[in-house]
C-alpha cells in the first residue's frame, strides 16, 4: 500500500485533516508531518494575541498520523468504507508549545496490534528536533 493510498483512506477532511505527509511506514511504526496553518479557527481564541496550538489538537495530530495511518497500513486491503475508527485511550505529556505556522513530525512505534486494537508509543518533535509531546495512544478499528 502506497503512502498516497493511506492518505486517501483517512476518514478526515479539511479543516480536521492533520496529516500532510507520511515520511516512512512499516509494520512497526510510522513517521509523518503536519504544518499548522496560522488561519486555523482555533487560533482565533486560544489565546488572545499569543495563539498556541491546543493540546487536544496536538493529541489529534499524533492520533491521525501515529495510530490511524499505521492502522490503515496494517489492515492493508481489508479496510472498507464502513470501517469505524475510535480512540480508546491516551496518556500524553506536553513539554513545549506549538505556534501557528510551525511544522511538527510525529514518530510512532507499535506496542501491539491485536483484535482490532492498535496501541502505539507516540512522540511529536518540532523542526529543532525538540520533543513537543509524547505518550501512548490506543484506538480500535472495527
> Which one of 21, 23, 40, 46 is the catalytic residue?
46
> In this structure, are residues 83 and 140 in contact, taking their beta carbons and an 8 Å threshold?
no
Interatomic CA distance for residues 26 and 32, integer angstroms: 12
Phi and psi for 7 in degrees, rounded to 5? Answer: -60, -40
Q: Which residue has the cell 495563539?
A: 51
Instruction: Specify the DSSP class assigned to residue 46.
Output: S
Q: Cβ(96)–Cβ(50) under 8 Å?
A: no
Q: Determine the Cα–Cα distance for residues 94 and 115; give it in Å rounded to an integer.
A: 30
Q: Annotated catalytic, 85?
A: no
Whether 70 and 7 have beta carbons less than 8 Å apart is answered as: no
Residues designated catalytic = 46
Amino acid at each position: 500500500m502506497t503512502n498516497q493510498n493511506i492518505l486517501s483512506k483517512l476518514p478526515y477532511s479539511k479543516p480536521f485533516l492533520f496529516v500532510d505527509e507520511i515520511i516512512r511506514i512499516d509494520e512497526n511504526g510510522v513517521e509523518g508531518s503536519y504544518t499548522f496553518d496560522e488561519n486555523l479557527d482555533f487560533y482565533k481564541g486560544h489565546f488572545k494575541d499569543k495563539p498556541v496550538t491546543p493540546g487536544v489538537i496536538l493529541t489529534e495530530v499524533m492520533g491521525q498520523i501515529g495510530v490511524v495511518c499505521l492502522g490503515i497500513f496494517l489492515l492493508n486491503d481489508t479496510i472498507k468504507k464502513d470501517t469505524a475508527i475510535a480512540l480508546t485511550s491516551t496518556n500524553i505529556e506536553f513539554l513545549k508549545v506549538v505556534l501557528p505556522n510551525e511544522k511538527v513530525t510525529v514518530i510512532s512505534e507499535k506496542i501491539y496490534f491485536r483484535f482490532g486494537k492498535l496501541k502505539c508509543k507516540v512522540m511529536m518533535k518540532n523542526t529543532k528536533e525538540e520533543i513537543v509531546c509524547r505518550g501512548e495512544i490506543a484506538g480500535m478499528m472495527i
